[in-house]
Amino acid sequence: MMASTTSATAAAAAFGATAKPRGSSSALCSRVTAGGRRRSGVVRCDAGVEAQAQAVAKAASIAALEQFKISADRYMKERSSIAVIGLSVHTAPVEMREKLAVAEELWPRAIQELTGLNHIEEAAVLSTCNRMEIYVVALSWNRGIREVVDWMSKKSGIPASELREHLFMLRDSDATRHLFEVSAGLDSLVLGEGQILAQVKQVVRSGQNSGGLGKNIDRMFKDAITAGKRVRSETNISSGAVSVSSAAVELALMKLPKTEALSARMLLIGAGKMGKLVIKHLIAKGCKKVVVVNRSVERVDAIREEMKDIEIVYRPLSDMYEAAAEADVVFTSTASETPLFTKEHTETLPPISDTIGGVRLFVDISVPRNVSACVSEVGSARVYNVDDLKEVVEANKEDRLRKAMEAQTIITQELKRFEAWRDSLETVPTIKKLRSYADRIRASELEKCLQKIGEDNLNKKMRRAIEELSMGIVNKLLHGPLQHLRCDGSDSRTLDETLENMHALNRMFSLDTEKAIIEQKIKAKVEKTQN
């Protein structure tokens, strides 16, 4: 939910440097105690030592995977788990969420790092101003979760023990249901808001462009999009619903004197998607003028062309503080990794007229935050961030909660459809191996038969008839077993019954399907780590 006014280069640099404090020299490494506190002393990084450490870590990773391969039998008893590990506006404050935020252009890189972990097969990242969630398919539930939490800790600089106090972890159907509810707007701060569906779509689009999403995660997100669309079209959950941007406008007007609210001087910093929605809702409230500070004028011109009912004044980024000095309300919605306004900046701004309330309002809907919390220490300023919007959304939440109950029926239907698809994947390897086994026998026996008859005694029509006969016999014999491997929700057979049939066929024909699959996955992981 963050506007994209910060360059991708700056964001990439920030993402790559999350393990070190802002402002530190790249040539220095702070010593960190076991408890996470930094000592005052610093030591120089030695390239040779660092390379040696990387080699040791790589060797340890390969050793761990080899050990995993030795104990593969233990992991064949359960299939890979779908999991979501994350935090949201419901579980963690913005101070923590902003440290974990991953810019959209860095999602492919994050996916690459996550799937490089020993026990993670597939991954996706959903990072917005209200949530940071990682969806994975894990070879081992406990080890996979531990690796993801450690990854999050490393990237954010937050100790894993502190992270766990705010993280939620859901598995398989619970994880899938959660994503469907997120896509439908049921888990949003603003219940029923529509922008989250666009963000879920962007996860799929980003994954397709980078080739990062695996089969299970890709299908789950696509089904989540279907669920989100159905909930919005088949229920009234979106009617009267507000967005984060509209809630921000509502909050600002609530804090201004009623008689002067529409005459207040409005400033918007950042003309991305969220910023554009702020302007839209200012128009709806009757505002006639807004100053927009943005890196480029083209985006502002496009908004001005679309929205004719308000005067939009463009100011370049270099004029930001000058524009803030002339504003009563400052909305911020950029992707900046560092605060745009600090206490020192705010103290230099001129006072606000008493008719407007005597205080300058900063409404910050960015994550990471654009306005430092210490700005609130300035007597002539008040700061509100996304966590403060709860005051606004509670007003019409009760009515939409009733509508959310209707949406759960649709969620359950789509969840059942996804689980039937995933269950059907369990038997696909056995079906393929059984058919391959039967075809090898058929081909071998057919060749013996043709040799006995003699090529000279057969014309093309006779040969084709014999081949079709052999295929027909095999298909007839396989029809019954393959029917009992179906698990697509089209009959009353349970997954347990189907898996029991699958195990029986594996034993009878010595297919060793499960062992082959797990060894193939582990081999791929080992080779990836070695490279």
Are 518 and 75 spatial neighbours (Cβ–Cβ below 8 Å)?
yes
Cα-Cα end-to-end distance for the chain: 36
The phi-psi region of residue 80 (left if phi > 0; otherwise alpha if psi is between -120 and 50; otherwise beta) is beta
- Running DSSP on this structure, what letter comes out for residue 295? S
Cβ neighbours of residue 181 closer than 8 Å, sequence gap 6 or more = 187, 411
Q: Count Cβ atoms within 10 A of the Cβ of residue 496 and give its class: 0-12 exposed, 13-18 middle, 19 or more buried.
A: exposed
Cα(139)–Cα(137) distance, integer angstroms = 7
Are 211 and 113 spatial neighbours (Cβ–Cβ below 8 Å)?
no
- The question of whether 45 is a catalytic residue gets the answer no
Residue carrying structure tokens 């009878």: 508
3-state secondary structure 420-434: HHHHHHHHHHHHHHH
- Running DSSP on this structure, what letter comes out for residue 139? S
Cα separations in angstroms, 418 against 462, 476, 523:
46, 30, 28
3-state secondary structure 435-450: HHHHHHHHHHHHHHHH
Are 274 and 3 spatial neighbours (Cβ–Cβ below 8 Å)?
yes
| Tokens (6 digits) for 523 | 């081999």
Cα separations in angstroms, 420 against 108, 208, 487:
29, 24, 7
- Running DSSP on this structure, what letter comes out for residue 326? T
| Tokens (6 digits) for 144 | 């996979």
Could you tell me how far CA 378 lies from the centroid of its own chain?
A: 37
The catalytic position among 129, 287, 449, 487 is 129
Are 143 and 119 spatial neighbours (Cβ–Cβ below 8 Å)?
yes
Dihedral sign for Cα 16, 22, 24, 30, please.
negative
Are 126 and 183 spatial neighbours (Cβ–Cβ below 8 Å)?
no
User: For the packed helices 513-530 and 397-453, what is the interaxial angle rounded to 10 degrees?
Assistant: 110
Range list of H helices, 76-192: 94-100, 107-115, 141-156, 160-164, 173-183
The C-alpha angle with vertex 402 and arms to 397 and 405, in degrees rounded to 5, equals: 125
* Residue type for position 42: V
3-state secondary structure 217-279: HHHHHHHHHHHHHHHHHHCCCCCCCCCHHHHHHHHHHHHCCCCCHHHCCEEEECCCHHHHHHH
* Residue type for position 298: E
Residues noted as catalytic: 129
